[in-house]
Amino acid sequence: MAGRRVENSRSGTSSTSGEQTLQAGRCPTDELSLTNCAVVSEKESQFEHHVTVRTTPTHKFVFTVKTHQSVVPGTIAFSLPQRKWAGISIGQDVEVTGYNFDKSKQCVGTMIVEIDFLQKKSVDSSPYDSDKMAAEFIQHFNSQAFSVGQQLVFSFCEKLFGLLIKDIEAMDPSILKGNAGSGKKHNIDIGLLLGNSQVVFEKAESSSLTLIGKAKTRESRQSIINPDWNFERMGIGGLDKEFSDIFRRAFASRVFPPDIVEQMGCKHVKGILLFGPPGCGKTLMARQIGKMLNAREPKVVNGPEILNKYVGESEANIRKLFADAEDEQKRLGANSGLHIIIFDEIDAICKQRGSMAGSTGVHDTVVNQLLSKIDGVEQLNNILVIGMTNRPDLIDEALLRPGRLEVKMEIGLPDEKGRVQILNIHTAKMRQFNLLGSDVDVSELAAETKNYSGAELEGLVRAAQSTAMNRHIKASATVEVDLEKAVNLQVHRDDFLASLDNDIKPAFGTNSEDYASYIMNGIIKWGDPVTAVLDDGELLVQQTKNSDRTPLVSVLLEGPPNSGKTALAAKIAEESQFPFIKICSPDKMIGHSEIAKCQAIKKIFEDAYKSQLSCVVVDDIERLLDYVPIGPRFSNLVLQALLVLLKKPPPKGRKLLIIGTTSRKDVLQEMEMLDAFSTTIHIPNISRGEQLVEALEMLGSFQEKERAAIAKAVKSQAVWIGIKKLTMVIEMAVQMDPEYRVSKFLTLLREQGALGSDKHIAI
């Protein structure tokens, strides 16, 4: 079996002797069968090295021949693989002619050989070094003829292997002369194997043979990464760094040449955990990773679907997910394909073991089953498990150790560059069909959508589209589309801005209505103290933005009640223009238990950590602590939670400004909370007559004559009133008739204890 079947027109070269009819026989010994030669009698000396065997008028095969005394004269012996390949039966007459190779054209440069175990009972999982196998093959079959499609048996490491010649590439003739090769390559049907030929082994498709070394399957040298993948085209944007990190950790070892990975003793990563805020692309990314790889179709499972009310069924569902990978690894060993299993909402099935009080233990056994499948006693090396969750803190820590879900990647809110990519993806089709207005600037929209997740940006585009379409709908007795104008439909900049204002608000963004209610009457700059507070606040904002040494900046605004502390805190937060601004206020936690209050405060801070720049206003701290002077009484649980959160620095790359307000600085001093703030700013009351008049002028409720009368009345008296209380007193007074407003205002001030003959009034 040393040649390929050839047609008459492919007879190769001229024969050296005349044609002779011989009878086909069985190879006399197993040793001769392994030589891959046709065997003739010693008397047939006219056939020197190679022969052409004609089995039918149109079919010829080239064999290398050798002689043996046990072969009867007039016969030519073939092994079983040779007879099977050439279609020769025992006793058949065949025409045999001598054959010479043209060494300038028919020497083997590279030969691809498909290999498998000859017998199924001899299958084993031991790795076979294809480099050594190729060297032994060339030594054993040197100077023999080989043909494409030829079958033969090869003995290596005391095992028998069935071989099939898949492809032969001719050697550059200049190499035979000792010169450098020309680089030109061409395939041939029949070739002569030489000592400097190259043999590449390729395991059969369904074979469980494990090959190691460089001279092995082309498949194993193909990249596991699809050559045509492009994440932007797949609909993912703003996650370039995350993809780069995932690729480095999880796929670099799978792309590298397997023999080098084996020499390093490197194990592939078997698990990835993607976590982060909702709508940032975790599920989409996991699905696209499956498309990116040359692997089996990913299995996507929602965590809650695993759970079953019947005993043992939940664990069985886990086993079913891994069954295909187990079966393929048993059959193919290291040559098994990659199986990807994606768990969405993995926290539903992988909660901390022992954490569910009064449970039946179903969750615990499901976690145990999953742990044993990913990295148990019988390890699977052909799997990649991708888990996704919004709550990584709930997942059992054993699942997160190296060897299991060891690559933990936060998929956070996109930055401005990422938002540009995402908006480009979602507006690409409109741009393609000229439905996007020329006034739409994606970069402008990206700048205006701070802290928007990918899902929210997609929702913004949909909202703008619906706004644009609504312009072409006639809403009369019936609803119908104005078809004449609909042809000219375009989504314009105003549609996006309207959707920004009215439709889509970021879950982790700034609730402008929230802090706008605290600055309802604006900031009344009644004197230098107010200006100084705002200037100091601006300095703290700049420090938070620009300083790498202080990612956490906290300030306490303290002063008497009604002095405008909350309004000033809200104003500083608003003017910071941080993407994330939240006010932690007692009025949002009425009726909460201590534990619920701690969880609510903790969630505000955790949300703040997800944004690159955040500001949290902790308003009226003594009310958050449930402080009352009778007793005194306060919530130690909330106090300890606040102390921890006020001192806890944000994650790397994130910056946080905390603004606290209190009317009881002395109480916080006793609770050792003042030390938790970086600095303290005092917010004073109005304490002089000219400050009071300045405030009246800015509020504009009194006429100039009225303000002059009030100024004259308060000139010789001490004043002590907060701006919030002053606003309330003014609004009460202006309800009177104009002639009584001034007297009523002064009376109310005295009743409130804001006016007196003393130089200082303490409240």
Active-site residue numbers? 565-566, 619-620, 647, 724
Task: Report the alpha-carbon distance of residue 462 to residue 29 in Å, rounded.
Answer: 79
Helix 723-733 × helix 741-751 angle, to 10°: 140
Amino acid at 144: Q
Q: What angle do CA 96, 102, 106 make, to 5 degrees?
A: 95
First to last CA, the chain: 111
Helix ranges (H only) for 333-415 are 362-375
DSSP code, position 631: T
Q: Which of 708, 696, 714 is nearest to 761 (CA)?
A: 714
φ and ψ at 700, to 5 degrees? Answer: 70, 20
φ and ψ at 488, to 5 degrees? Answer: -95, 20
Amino acid at 454: G
CB atoms within 10 A of CB 387: 29
Structure tokens at 486: 């609909």
Query: How remote is the C-alpha of 631 from its chain's centroid?
Result: 54
Q: Which of 478, 528, 567 is nearest to 690 (CA)?
A: 528
CB atoms within 10 A of CB 453: 27
Task: Report the alpha-carbon distance of residue 564 to residue 269 in Å, rounded.
Answer: 56
CB atoms within 10 A of CB 31: 10
Q: Which of 80, 92, 87, 89 is nearest to 152 (CA)?
A: 80
Task: Report the alpha-carbon distance of residue 677 to residue 505 in Å, rounded.
Answer: 31
Q: Which residue has the tokens 């990649």?
A: 384
Q: Which residue has the tokens 């902790």?
A: 618
Task: Report the alpha-carbon distance of residue 513 to residue 574 in Å, rounded.
Answer: 11
Which residues lie closer than 8 Å to 495 by C-beta, 6 or more apart?
Answer: 464, 465, 467, 468
DSSP code, position 8: G
Q: Which residue has the tokens 């109480």?
A: 667
Structure tokens at 147: 């043909």
CB atoms within 10 A of CB 502: 10
Amino acid at 566: T
Peptide bond into 632 cis (omega under 30): yes
- Beta-strand relationship, 159-170 and 151-156: antiparallel
76: left (phi over 0), alpha (psi -120 to 50) or beta: beta
Cβ(639)–Cβ(596) under 8 Å? Answer: no
| Three-class DSSP category at 344 | strand
| Three-class DSSP category at 275 | strand
Task: Report the alpha-carbon distance of residue 39 to residue 168 in Å, rounded.
Answer: 25
φ and ψ at 658, to 5 degrees? Answer: -110, 125
Cβ(171)–Cβ(194) under 8 Å? Answer: yes
Task: Report the alpha-carbon distance of residue 448 to residue 512 in Å, rounded.
Answer: 14
Cβ(1)–Cβ(82) under 8 Å? Answer: yes
Q: Residue 339 pairs with which residues in a beta bridge? A: 383
Which residues lie closer than 8 Å to 136 by C-beta, 6 or more apart?
Answer: 156
